[in-house]
Structure 1
């Protein structure tokens, strides 16, 4: 694979190391695009019942609004991330934001479920915003600013998901479900205008052609897995459709790996998956994606249960969303903080701390959740942990792969997070519906079990975070991979850097 850096005009306009100074507006536009995508990912879920009643469709049918979005994002993210590496990240980002804007308008105007699902499929293309944004930041900003900026942008994806859960109730109660799309559209349009008029094309490219065969196989396997996970509870986990789709997904992934190892220009370079900094980070993404959406399902459900149950708090949808505000605030604070720790100690420490916080966040309510402060403290710990870990994940990927493969590597990490979120939603939903009262409400034991399940899964993230290479080992692996734009190492770890990219 040949890597090139395109000429960008007079050398005098480009600072030493090829990075442009400033970049505040660039970061703002990228952050707004990421925020819009993340908000749209979660904003619809609390309003599904309202949308279903308005469109006169069943609960099973209206759930396709979420399923279609997840399927589209998982399929298009690696393809668009790879195209960004090949054709230019800004060009592809503009296309992605334009598709997102079009899909949001279609969804906002949708007169029926079919049109709304089409809009959601178009919106799923925005799953590529994160890998494209991280690649642009890595290419364009001075390297001393990369870790903190990537931490902020990565945290925004968790923040946006939290904002979506919080804002859904008030929007539906005071406006209508159509405004779930009109309001985020403003963010999308600003980000799109910023990409068109306020960004220059990133210089780092990986010339080649798209691996259509690999893209097709990966798409089929991801659709099979996510469709089975999303619909398994409704269809039945032992149903032929569920089992068949799971088998299709697993076999498809195996075939995909075998194909990618043989083609000259793979969609995803499987050699990257053997790098410890990559596979360990992807495992953390999978696990904490599970945990984050476990929180978004368990906490609002518990808060909204009638106080007469003895364990619910009897709050409205809007009030329940407000209880997630501390989670969102902690994500805002701890995302950039993870970037600062990354510059001093590397991504291993903030990722480890994030996983520890998430384990504590679920252990507390698993032991006791009868008081509101226990639920709030759990949310605070969750926000701190997710903010730390999500920011560290993107920086770990950056420090493990060459700049020319940032898009494909971060795309895989994004997919892992999406799959984890889908599994977490399905498993936690199955847990809290497995034990119900005579009135059909989840029992107190169901919530206790749900919290313990999430805590147990999050413990695995601690192990995965500990598997990340140390700072010294990380530098040696980076040299071997051809990564020459890492943040400076501590003085005692400075090594000769005479390798070339590629």
Structure 2
């Protein structure tokens, strides 16, 4: 029996359909896991100007608080979620949550931006909670329940109904940004206790072979070079020596990853899968969609809304209430519905519809960026198209199209594309949005629109596995 066949058999043996209170306990625990990660993004967003002022750094520099966090989440998602195939999902969840706890403590007591960024990197490793949770759902839930519950977890990816963004703004205004990390630390402690109680222990690994650490290292280094290539290109210039060095490092790392995977007996993901229409178009669509849309909601609009001269002149709390809460609140209902619709009408089709409508909404924001209420309404619609359709279908396709011999491989790499895309989107538009002018904000928005159009183009190449109807 080949490695793929053995892995498929192990997966079947581990698949137990959960029902009743057992299902509820597992789902609530997984929601807490992804929430522990998500709060670090959504609650902190309104406090970015406060962090810049408190630490006496520019808004451009403080953007690293978000971009490095998402870069770390992409690397953690690749390494730790795939490691979970070998050491068990429960063990992997505990490891990422402990990393999150240590990073949060550093952020609470950070005396300067450098220590804060170190804490954010450790926190970012918890990005793997999403991929691990999605694979657990696929293994423990039947197909009918999978789409809806995956949508519920995806809704958390947009925040807790926007209340977390609003709460982050209130805490930042009244008690300073460090109070946000105190709240997060309490959530992490509760989450660890629930994982130990409700996530089942595996009898053994769910795949054969050993963890491909060399391939993981090469891919991780490539992701780092990619992120800093774009960041340096935006600030120092695309042909600056430092930018070209990062570009060279990126190509060398990805080529090394390719050759390592070709020779590895148990690769992170086999080369033939990387070339397939089940893998590369999904990863590309995720990367481009997140690069395009995430930066608009979580960076450009936040700065625009708080800009006293060129923007709407709101404080952090009101900014979060108007421009983070509606989309996230709508996403709570639209994401599970999107999962249900994807199961009925097709995951690939619903992804394309979500991207197309999001492009139209982004164009409206760019054309009417001076109107607070038009921007407010448009961002609310993104709660359906982005927080609902795009995020749910992207996550679902990552699980459904992953190779049978590496069930966490595509979710991990797709999660990396998620983290890198979010960080790259901010890095690309930060130099323009940070100008504090209407022209700068408009330029940032059109950059995001162009990238989102490319996401739709790559989604046209996605194809299901042989005999698969998705």
Q: State the TM-score, normalized to the length of structure 1.
A: 0.84
Equivalence map 1:466-481=2 (5 Å)? 466-469=460-463, 474=464, 476-478=466-468
Which residue of the partner structure matches residue 421 of structure 2? Answer: 420
Which residue of the partner structure matches residue 500 of structure 1? Answer: none
Whole-Å separation in 2 of the counterparts to 1:118 and 1:451: 30
**Are the structure 2 counterparts of residues 150 and 261 from structure 1 closer, same or farther at C-alpha, using a change threshold of 3 Å?**
same
Equivalence map 1:232-243=2 (5 Å)? 232-243=233-244
Matched, 1:442 2:437: yes
**Are the structure 2 counterparts of residues 57 and 348 from structure 1 closer, same or farther at C-alpha, using a change threshold of 3 Å?**
closer
Whole-Å separation in 2 of the counterparts to 1:410 and 1:162: 26
- State the secondary structure of the residue aligned to 1:159: coil
Q: Deviations over 1:301-338 (max 9, x none)?
A: 222233xx5x6322222211212211112221211011
Equivalence map 1:303-322=2 (5 Å)? 303-306=305-308, 312-322=311-321
Equivalence map 1:89-108=2 (5 Å)? 89-108=89-108
| CA deviation after TM superposition for structure 1 residue 80, in Å | 0.7
Report the RMSD for the aligned CA atoms in angstroms: 2.8
Which residue of the partner structure matches residue 29 of structure 1? Answer: 29
Matched, 1:71 2:71: yes
Whole-Å separation in 2 of the counterparts to 1:378 and 1:59: 25
Which residue of the partner structure matches residue 285 of structure 1? Answer: 286
Which residue of the partner structure matches residue 261 of structure 1? Answer: 262
Q: State the TM-score, normalized to the length of structure 2.
A: 0.89
Whole-Å separation in 2 of the counterparts to 1:43 and 1:362: 23
**Are the structure 2 counterparts of residues 288 and 160 from structure 1 closer, same or farther at C-alpha, using a change threshold of 3 Å?**
farther
Whole-Å separation in 2 of the counterparts to 1:415 and 1:401: 14
Query: What count of residue pairs does the alignment treat as equivalent?
Result: 460
| CA deviation after TM superposition for structure 1 residue 243, in Å | 2.0
Which residue of the partner structure matches residue 221 of structure 1? Answer: 222
Equivalence map 1:402-413=2 (5 Å)? 402=403, 405-413=406-414
**Are the structure 2 counterparts of residues 33 and 268 from structure 1 closer, same or farther at C-alpha, using a change threshold of 3 Å?**
same
Whole-Å separation in 2 of the counterparts to 1:380 and 1:202: 41
Shifted more, 368-377 versus 83-92: the winner is: 368-377
- State the secondary structure of the residue aligned to 1:249: helix
Which residue of the partner structure matches residue 128 of structure 1? Answer: 128
Q: Which runs of 5+ in 1 are unaligned?
A: 479-488, 491-502
Whole-Å separation in 1 of the counterparts to 2:305 and 2:72: 31
Determine which structure has greater relative contact order: mean sequence separation of CA pairs < 8 Å that are 6+ residues apart, divided by chain length.
2
Whole-Å separation in 2 of the counterparts to 1:160 and 1:246: 37
- State the secondary structure of the residue aligned to 2:267: coil
Which residue of the partner structure matches residue 3 of structure 1? Answer: 7
| CA deviation after TM superposition for structure 1 residue 91, in Å | 1.2
Q: Report if the CA contact (8 A) 2:45-2:299 is conserved.
A: no
Which residue of the partner structure matches residue 342 of structure 2? Answer: 342
Q: Report if the CA contact (8 A) 1:77-1:125 is conserved.
A: yes
Whole-Å separation in 1 of the counterparts to 2:200 and 2:345: 32
Matched, 1:323 2:317: no
Q: Which runs of 5+ in 2 are unaligned?
A: none
Looking at CA atoms only, which structure, 1 or 2, has the larger radius of gyration? Answer: 1
| CA deviation after TM superposition for structure 1 residue 281, in Å | 2.0
Q: Deviations over 1:409-431 (max 9, x none)?
A: 10111111222212211222233
- State the secondary structure of the residue aligned to 2:373: helix
Whole-Å separation in 2 of the counterparts to 1:417 and 1:275: 20
- State the secondary structure of the residue aligned to 2:94: helix
